[in-house]
Amino acid sequence: MDISNVKKALSWYLGREIAGDFRVLKEHEIALCNDATKFPFEGDSGLLREFCIFADGGSGDLWLLSSSGEIAFYDHDLEFLSEANLKKFDLNLTGWFEIAGLFAKFEALDEPNASQKAEFKQSVAKICPQILEIWEI
């Protein structure tokens, strides 16, 4: 999926924070982050041939969409942005939005109890169990 198609697919969500670690970038941020000459890469800028950065986690973490439509995650605590430092998921953009919505609902709970945590984990795991490897819930 190229950048223009990513922007079209995200048009209703551009600039919106869905949950704490799920913020869709604004249109100009998508353009900047996916321009190897402008984005301050500390890694492999060739990564942008296969992936499009479309969202962030607010603290430097990035969400990427592959040309085949699969989602990947980059943890900013890793050395630099490279394919080796991506966590790839069996997840498409629709699933990413579903998971972001689940996180939003979970974050809205005031001190969730064990049952609510278990229900949240089970709901996320039905869509993509690998996501739970990133966060401690």
- pLDDT tens readout for residues 52-105: 889 999 788 999 998 889 999 988 877 777 777 889 999 999 999 999 999 999
DSSP bridge pairs for 63: 55, 73
Contact between 56 and 20 (Cβ < 8 Å): no
Q: Quickly state the pLDDT bin for 10 (edges 50, 70, 90).
A: confident
Give the global pTM: 0.86
Top-confidence residue, 95 or 40: 95
- Looking at residue 47, its pLDDT comes to 67
Q: What is the pLDDT of residue 114?
A: 95
**Main-chain dihedrals φ then ψ at residue 38, nearest 5 degrees:** -110, -30
